[in-house]
């Protein structure tokens, strides 16, 4: 697959050697995540909002209540920044300065399109499948009222940058013999045993 042809304004500048524009790398990072932090301007200033998302080919989808503030801010085509970050480890160095983190992140800049009503059921199926971790989709689909209450936005993967840090600490040569524990404490998002809902309809 070809690299993203990200504009200069949206390329990584800080520690650019950790940047990647490789499509497979970007897809893998997005596909490993559930929540993005979406930045946009509101009347009250900048906002960084956590949102469940799903990748659909060369775009990401996120949704919310049609009347919510963020849908009003973004449904009209306001600029946004969509960021997904996986924390992979705390990097402990021999010097305070070289402490770091291992991570995989993707940042997408752009303007989202509102998914048309006719396509909304298919888009919502993608969210359900993602939330159900591939369990067969046997759920009751959204009815007309629920569909109407929900807005889905689609952000194309065009202005895209990944940034990844891996490996151990990068201490200065003169610090290598200091008697300090140095290394990586791995971090990972893990799933526990599913807990079945035992709620029942209250008797009359």
Q: Does 21 bind a copy of itself (CB under 8 A)?
A: no
- Which candidate, 55, 172, 158, 170, places its Cα nearest to that of 110? 158
Give Cα 132 distance to the centre of its chain: 17
State in angstroms the smallest separation of the CB of 27 from a copy of itself: 19
Q: Does 66 bind a copy of itself (CB under 8 A)?
A: no
Pattern 26-65, a copy of itself, x by CB under 8 A: --------xx-xxxxx-xxxxxxxx-x-----------xx
The tokens for 77 are 């085509």
| DSSP-derived secondary structure letter, 202 | P
Query: Which residues on neighbouring strands pair with residue 3, listed in sequence order?
Result: 22
- Phi/psi for 88 (5° steps) reads -110, -15
State in angstroms the smallest separation of the CB of 33 from a copy of itself: 9
Find the binder of a copy of itself among 13, 57, 118, 203 (CB under 8 A). Answer: 13
Q: Does 166 bind a copy of itself (CB under 8 A)?
A: no
Neighbours of 147 (CB within 10 A): 16
- What residues between 87 and 106 interact with a copy of itself by CB under 8 A? 87, 89-97, 99, 101, 103, 105
Angle at 59 between CA 150 and CA 147, to 5 degrees: 15
State in angstroms the smallest separation of the CB of 30 from a copy of itself: 14
> 101 or 158, CB closer to a copy of itself?
101
CB 143 within 8 A of CB 66: no
Find the binder of a copy of itself among 18, 27, 69, 154 (CB under 8 A). Answer: 69
């Amino acid at each position: 697959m070809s690299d993203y042809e990200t504009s200069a304004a949206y390329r990584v500048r800080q520690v650019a050697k950790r940047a990647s524009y490789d499509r497979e790398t970007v897809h893998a990072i997005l596909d490993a995540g559930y929540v993005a932090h979406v930045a946009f301007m509101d009347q009250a200033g900048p906002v960084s909002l956590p949102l469940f998302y799903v990748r659909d080919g060369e775009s990401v989808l996120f949704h919310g209540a049609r009347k919510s503030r963020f849908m009003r801010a973004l449904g009209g085509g306001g600029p946004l920044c969509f960021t997904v970050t996986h924390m992979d480890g705390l990097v402990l160095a021999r010097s305070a300065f070289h402490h770091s983190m291992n991570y995989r992140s993707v940042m997408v800049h752009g303007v989202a399109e509102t998914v048309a009503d006719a396509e909304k059921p298919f888009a919502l199926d993608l969210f359900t499948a993602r939330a159900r971790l591939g369990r067969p989709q046997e759920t009751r689909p959204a009815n007309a009222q629920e569909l109407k209450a929900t807005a889905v936005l689609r952000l194309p993967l065009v202005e895209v940058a990944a940034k990844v840090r891996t490996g151990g600490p990068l201490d200065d040569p003169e610090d290598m013999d200091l008697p300090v524990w140095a290394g990586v404490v791995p971090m990972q998002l893990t799933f526990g045993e599913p807990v079945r809902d035992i709620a029942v309809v209250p008797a009359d």
